[in-house]
Amino acid sequence: MITKQLPTTVVSLNEVDAFPDETYGEILHGFTKYSNNDFKAVFQNLLTQVRIDNFSSHTSITTSFYGSSSSSETTIAKISQVLCDVNDLYSNFATSTKWVINCHVSA
């Protein structure tokens, strides 16, 4: 559901110049809150890469060796791609029974 609604919001914010640069990292951070550890790990790794890229843009240290993302790629393009990837990853996990929800019932 979120991957359907978020792109519209992002485009609308961008059209009125109210689109924060941190949005991509914030979206990745949100996906690290999921209960499935394998799913969560993908986005924790992406978020770590964003933090490395941000760090390297503020220092003289280069991190291009680590596979940082293209600076020419727009934030909206990155968000669109990650939301597409989220759908694909969730579908793969759900159909392979890796998306297991542990329900704990307490009395």
Q: What is the pLDDT of residues 36-88, one digit of tens each?
A: 888 899 999 999 998 888 777 766 555 444 444 444 467 888 888 888 888 88
Predicted confidence at residue 105, as pLDDT, reads 53
In a domain, 103, yes or no: no
What mean pLDDT is predicted for residues 97-106? 63
Q: What pLDDT is stored for residue 68 in this prediction?
A: 47
**According to the model, what pLDDT value does residue 9 have?**
78
**Higher per-residue pLDDT: 16 or 57:** 16
Q: What is the mean pLDDT of the chain?
A: 76
Rounded to an integer, the average pLDDT of 24-33 is: 89
Q: Is residue 41 part of a domain?
A: yes
Query: Within a domain: residue 100?
Result: no
Q: pTM of the full predicted structure? A: 0.67
Please state, in angstroms and rounded to a whole number, the distance separating the CA atoms of residues 44 and 55: 16
Domain count, the chain: 1
Q: What angle do CA 11, 75, 53 make, to 5 degrees?
A: 160
Domain annotation covers residue 81: yes
